[in-house]
């Protein structure tokens, strides 16, 4: 059901944003300058390949880029769970023994004339052993008291889809603004290691909308891209505010008429302030994630 809801949300975004036709505002061929060193014959061949791709982009054929990215995300912040629905004290991620973990961050970009579509995912799970600085209880009568040694498992999945419109396409840089839809899935699992054997669990699924901006610049085989997104949403007994800044650099290692391959690296900053209710209790999370990532992409 969660997967069905995610794909239905992203499908609705495409139907709302995709135009019936497109007209190129300018020719990228005039911007491309081959900076590789070599013989004149090699330069002319590369120029022909570079000119062929803009001809495809000037028509109705979109450019598709699939990115495979893996990174380390460090977690910092506070978590709290209280049965009375009012969380007055929280437990820090450090006290729970949560540290940086490997995350999967796939992304799919579609460029069609002056429109840019981006679909991305973030999947990470944190595990650690530490101490509860405050009582953890969802109201089922089996709470974990403050000071108890606890084993924690926190899983965070976020899927987003967004569309950008170029408002400043130029030789200096491309600047676009847009909006998007996303789904945040959080699962919490706390198990006491001392005293009575107690397990406290909670999960929540929250759809949200957000605004976004995109800046990109291509220099020879290099391309630099930065995307910033932010949102504040309230839905029934759920509250969410977040920001996501993704800075990435790519280097083209393979250039053909129909396929390019690049290696990439970047850094990501994510902040989430989230509250939700489960079984009469309330959970809050005010956490920040940040860390580098590497990967590769295929451009069609």
Confidence band for 30, pLDDT divided at 50, 70 and 90: very low
Tell me the per-residue pLDDT of 276-290, one tens digit each, with 9 for 90 and over: 766 556 778 889 999
Confidence band for 16, pLDDT divided at 50, 70 and 90: very low
pLDDT at 8: 42
Confidence band for 226, pLDDT divided at 50, 70 and 90: very high
Element spanning 182, H or E:
strand 174-192
Confidence band for 80, pLDDT divided at 50, 70 and 90: confident
Lowest-confidence region among 29-33, 98-102, 134-138:
29-33
Q: Where are the domains of the chain?
A: 2-22+60-299
CA angle 85, 88, 91 (to 5 degrees): 105
pLDDT at 158: 95
Identify any residues that bridge with 149 across adjacent strands, giving them in sequence order: 131
Q: What percent of the chain stands above pLDDT 90?
A: 43
**Coil, helix or strand at residue 300:** coil
**Contact between 280 and 83 (Cβ < 8 Å):** yes
pLDDT at 67: 97
Copy the structure tokens of residue 71. Answer: 């990174």
Q: Which residue has tokens 């976004």?
A: 212
List CB contacts of 44: < 8 A, sequence separation 6 or more: none
pLDDT at 51: 44
pLDDT at 278: 60
Domain 2-22+60-299: what homologous superfamily? OMPT-like (2.40.128.90)
3-state helix, strand, coil split of the chain in percent (to 5) is 15, 60, 25
Element spanning 5, H or E:
helix 2-17
Lowest-confidence region among 28-42, 60-74, 200-214:
28-42
Mean pLDDT on 101-109? 95
Give CA torsion, residues 73, 74, 78, 84, to 10 deg.
40
138 or 264, which is more confident: 264
Mean pLDDT on 74-86? 73
pLDDT at 64: 94
pLDDT at 22: 36
In the predicted model, what is the mean pLDDT of the chain? 78
Copy the structure tokens of residue 147. Answer: 């000071």
Residue 113 has pLDDT above 70, yes or no: yes
**Contact between 243 and 228 (Cβ < 8 Å):** yes
Lowest-confidence region among 12-26, 38-52, 89-103, 191-205:
12-26
């Amino acid at each position: 059901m969660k997967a069905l809801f995610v794909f239905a949300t992203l499908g609705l975004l495409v139907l709302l944003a995709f135009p019936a036709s497109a007209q190129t505002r300018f020719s990228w061929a005039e911007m491309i300058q081959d900076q590789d060193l070599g013989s004149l014959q090699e330069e002319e061949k590369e120029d022909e390949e570079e000119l062929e791709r803009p001809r495809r982009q000037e028509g109705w054929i979109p450019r598709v880029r699939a990115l495979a990215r893996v990174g380390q995300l460090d977690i910092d912040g506070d978590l709290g769970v209280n049965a009375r629905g009012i969380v007055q004290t929280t437990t820090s991620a450090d006290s729970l023994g949560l540290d940086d973990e490997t995350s999967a961050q796939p992304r799919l970009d579609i460029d069609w004339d002056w429109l840019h579509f981006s679909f991305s995912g973030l999947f990470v799970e944190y595990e650690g052993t530490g101490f509860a600085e405050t009582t953890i209880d969802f109201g089922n009568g089996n709470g974990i008291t403050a000071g108890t040694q606890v084993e924690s498992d926190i899983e965070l999945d976020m899927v987003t889809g967004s569309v950008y419109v170029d408002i400043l396409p130029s030789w200096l840089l491309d600047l676009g603004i847009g909006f998007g839809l996303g789904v945040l899935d959080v699962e919490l699992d706390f198990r006491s290691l001392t005293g009575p054997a107690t397990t406290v669990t909670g999960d929540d699924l929250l759809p949200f909308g957000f605004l976004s901006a995109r800046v990109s610049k291509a220099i020879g085989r290099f391309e630099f891209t930065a995307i910033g997104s932010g949102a504040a949403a309230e839905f029934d007994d759920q509250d969410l505010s977040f920001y996501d800044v993704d800075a990435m650099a790519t280097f083209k290692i393979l250039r053909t008429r129909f396929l390019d391959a690049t290696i990439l690296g970047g850094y990501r900053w994510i902040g989430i302030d989230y509250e939700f209710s489960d079984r009469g209790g309330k959970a809050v999370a005010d956490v920040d994630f940040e860390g580098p990532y590497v990967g590769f992409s295929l451009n069609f």
